[in-house]
Chain A
Amino acid sequence: MQRIRLRYAKRGPLRFTSHRDFARAFERALRRAGVPIAFSQGFTPHPKISYASAAPTGVGSEAEYLEIGLQSQVDPEQLRIALDAALSPGLDVLEAVRAGEGSLADRIDASRWRIELPEVAPATAGDAVTAFLAAPEVLVERMTKQGRRSFDARAAVVSCMVVAEPDPPSEAGGVPCAIIDLVVRQVTPAVRPDDVLSGLRVVAGLEPPVPARVTRLAQGTLTAQGEIVDPLEADREGVGIGGR
Chain B
Amino acid sequence: MSVSSVFPQLEQLLPRVSKPIQYVGGELGAVVKDWDATTVRWALMYPDAYEVGLPNQGVQILYEVLNEQPDVLAERTYSVWPDLEALMKEHGVPQFTVDAHRPVRAFDVLGLSFATELGYTNMLSALDLAGIPLESGDRTVEHPIVLAGGHASFNPEPIADFIDAAVLGDGEEAVLEITGIIREWKAEGCPGGRDEILLRLARTESIYVPRFYDVDYLPDGRIQRVVPNRPDVPFRVAKRTTMDLDAWPYPKKPLVPLAETVHERYAVEIFRGCTRGCRFCQAGMITRPVRERSITTVGQMVKEGLEFSGYSEVGLLSLSSADHSEIGDMCSGLAQQYADTNVSLSLPSTRVDAFNIDLAQELSRNGRRTGLTFAPEGGSERIRKVINKMVTKEDLIRTVVTAYSNGWRQVKLYFMCGLPSETDEDVLEIAEMAHEVIRAGREAAGTKDIRCTVSIGGFVPKPHTPFQWAKMDTPEVIDGRLKMLKQAINSDRSLGRAIGFRYHDGEPSLIEGLLSRGDRRVGKVIREVWEQGGRFDGWSEHFSFVRWVAACETVLPGLGVDLDWYTTREREEAEVLPWDHLDSGLDKDWLWQDWQDSMSEFEQDDCRWTPCFDCGVCPSMDTEIQIGPTGKKLLPLTPVNGLRVPA
**Which residues of A pack against B, CB within 8 Å?**
13-14, 16-18, 20-22, 24-25, 27-36, 39, 45, 57-58, 74, 78-79, 81-82, 85-86, 88-91, 171, 210-211
Among B14, B258, B306, B309, chain A packs the most CB atoms within 10 A around the CB of: B258
Chain A residues with CB under 8 A of B641: 34, 36
Which B residue's beta carbon lies closest to that of A84? B646
CB 8 Å contact bits of B17-31 with A (1 = contact, 0 = none): 001110111111000
Establish whether residues A78 and B26, one from each chain, have CB atoms under 8 Å apart when the complex forms. Answer: no
A-B pairs, top 9 by smallest CB distance, nearest first, are A28-B310, A32-B310, A13-B24, A31-B310, A16-B20, A211-B15, A82-B643, A34-B644, A85-B646
- Judge whether B307 is part of the interface by a CB distance below 8 angstroms: yes
Establish whether residues B26 and A31, one from each chain, have CB atoms under 8 Å apart when the complex forms. Answer: no
Establish whether residues B24 and A16, one from each chain, have CB atoms under 8 Å apart when the complex forms. Answer: yes
Establish whether residues B258 and A25, one from each chain, have CB atoms under 8 Å apart when the complex forms. Answer: yes
Chain A residues with CB under 8 A of B309: 28, 32
Bound together, the chains give a CA A78 to CA B642 distance in angstroms of 10
**Which residues of B pack against A, CB within 8 Å?**
7-8, 11-12, 14-16, 19-21, 23-28, 256, 258-260, 264, 306-312, 342, 640-646
- Give the residue of B23, B26, B256, B308 whose beta carbon is less than 8 angstroms from that of A89: B26
Establish whether residues A13 and B26, one from each chain, have CB atoms under 8 Å apart when the complex forms. Answer: yes
Sample (10) of A-B pairs whose CB atoms are under 8 Å apart:
A18-B21, A21-B21, A25-B256, A31-B310, A34-B643, A34-B644, A58-B14, A58-B15, A86-B644, A211-B12
Establish whether residues A88 and B26, one from each chain, have CB atoms under 8 Å apart when the complex forms. Answer: yes
Bound together, the chains give a CA A28 to CA B28 distance in angstroms of 11
Establish whether residues A211 and B643, one from each chain, have CB atoms under 8 Å apart when the complex forms. Answer: no
Among A17, A22, A45, A88, chain B packs the most CB atoms within 10 A around the CB of: A88
SS class of chain B's interface: helix, strand, loop or mixed? loop
Chain B residues with CB under 8 A of A36: 641
Chain A residues with CB under 8 A of B28: 88
Bound together, the chains give a CA A35 to CA B645 distance in angstroms of 10
Q: Given A28-B310, A88-B27, do A211 and B646 touch, yes or no (CB 8 Å)? A: no
Bound together, the chains give a CA A27 to CA B264 distance in angstroms of 12
A56 to chain B, nearest CB (A): 10
17 A-B pairs besides A81-B646, A88-B27 with CB distance below 8 A are A13-B26, A20-B260, A25-B258, A29-B310, A31-B306, A32-B309, A32-B644, A33-B643, A45-B342, A58-B14, A79-B643, A81-B645, A82-B643, A82-B644, A85-B646, A88-B28, A211-B12
Bound together, the chains give a CA A18 to CA B308 distance in angstroms of 23
Chain B residues with CB under 8 A of A211: 12, 15-16
- Give the residue of B20, B312, B342, B643 whose beta carbon is less than 8 angstroms from that of A57: B20
A113 to chain B, nearest CB (A): 15
Chain B residues with CB under 8 A of A25: 256, 258
Chain B residues with CB under 8 A of A18: 19, 21
Establish whether residues A21 and B258, one from each chain, have CB atoms under 8 Å apart when the complex forms. Answer: yes
Chain A residues with CB under 8 A of B643: 33-35, 74, 78-79, 82
Bound together, the chains give a CA A149 to CA B298 distance in angstroms of 54
- Give the residue of B16, B307, B342, B640 whose beta carbon is less than 8 angstroms from that of A32: B307
Bound together, the chains give a CA A81 to CA B259 distance in angstroms of 24
Bound together, the chains give a CA A36 to CA B15 distance in angstroms of 37
Chain A residues with CB under 8 A of B26: 13-14, 88-90
Establish whether residues B644 and A33, one from each chain, have CB atoms under 8 Å apart when the complex forms. Answer: yes
Bound together, the chains give a CA A30 to CA B310 distance in angstroms of 8
Among A25, A85, A210, chain B packs the most CB atoms within 10 A around the CB of: A25
Establish whether residues B640 and A34, one from each chain, have CB atoms under 8 Å apart when the complex forms. Answer: yes
Bound together, the chains give a CA A28 to CA B310 distance in angstroms of 4
Bound together, the chains give a CA A17 to CA B643 distance in angstroms of 26
B417 to chain A, nearest CB (A): 36
Bound together, the chains give a CA A171 to CA B28 distance in angstroms of 29
Establish whether residues A88 and B646, one from each chain, have CB atoms under 8 Å apart when the complex forms. Answer: no
Establish whether residues B258 and A86, one from each chain, have CB atoms under 8 Å apart when the complex forms. Answer: no
- Give the residue of B258, B308, B311 whose beta carbon is less than 8 angstroms from that of A17: B258
Establish whether residues B260 and A24, one from each chain, have CB atoms under 8 Å apart when the complex forms. Answer: yes
Chain A residues with CB under 8 A of B256: 25, 28
Which B residue's beta carbon lies closest to that of A15? B24
Q: Given A58-B20, A211-B16, do A171 and B264 touch, yes or no (CB 8 Å)? A: no
Chain B residues with CB under 8 A of A78: 643, 645
B437 to chain A, nearest CB (A): 27
Bound together, the chains give a CA A86 to CA B264 distance in angstroms of 17
Chain A residues with CB under 8 A of B645: 33, 78, 81-82, 85
Chain B residues with CB under 8 A of A13: 7, 11, 24-26
Bound together, the chains give a CA A207 to CA B240 distance in angstroms of 58
Establish whether residues B259 and A21, one from each chain, have CB atoms under 8 Å apart when the complex forms. Answer: yes
Chain A residues with CB under 8 A of B14: 16, 58
Bound together, the chains give a CA A30 to CA B342 distance in angstroms of 12
Which B residue's beta carbon lies closest to that of A118? B12
- Give the residue of A22, A81, A86 whose beta carbon is less than 8 angstroms from that of B310: A86
Q: Given A21-B21, A28-B309, do A210 and B12 touch, yes or no (CB 8 Å)? A: yes
Bound together, the chains give a CA A237 to CA B81 distance in angstroms of 50
Chain A residues with CB under 8 A of B24: 13-14, 16
Bound together, the chains give a CA A29 to CA B28 distance in angstroms of 10
Bound together, the chains give a CA A21 to CA B261 distance in angstroms of 10
